[in-house]
Amino acid sequence: MASLNVSMPAELRQFVDKRTKDGQFSTPTEYVRHLIREDQKRQAEDRLDRVLLQGLDSSDFAEVTPEFFDRLRSLITRRPRGKRARS
């Protein structure tokens, strides 16, 4: 595992220490990892939002009907278990 040394003002270090002592995180490193994972999650959600908005802005719409879902369900149930769809 790679390491990272972070310098910060005393005020921020006190905040990190308090968050660690509050019991949710056992070490400052765990807290920083949590923050980074949350940032990654937020970034992925932002990307999904952008893609969805691009889709809404496009003029390439298909009507979603009960028949559409029937065909989709049929495709899913016919696929052998353990096989992943290709992207």
CA distance 16 to 25: 10
Residues 6+ apart with CB under 8 A from 24: 31
Q: Does the pTM of the predicted model rise above 0.75?
A: no
CA distance 30 to 81: 37
Q: Which residue has the tokens 């940032």?
A: 39
Q: Is residue 47 part of a domain?
A: yes
- Which pLDDT value is given to residue 80? 74
Assigned token pair, 60: 């390439």
Angstrom CA distances, 6 to 26, 31, 54, 67, stand at 18, 13, 38, 56
Q: Is residue 2 part of a domain?
A: no
Domain range for residue 57? Answer: 11-78
pLDDT tens for the 87 residues of the chain, in order:
899 999 999 999 999 999 999 989 999 999 999 999 999 999 999 999 999 999 888 877 778 899 989 998 999 988 776 666 555
Alpha helices in the chain (DSSP H): 10-21, 28-57, 66-78
Q: Is residue 45 part of a domain?
A: yes
Domain count for the chain, please give it: 1
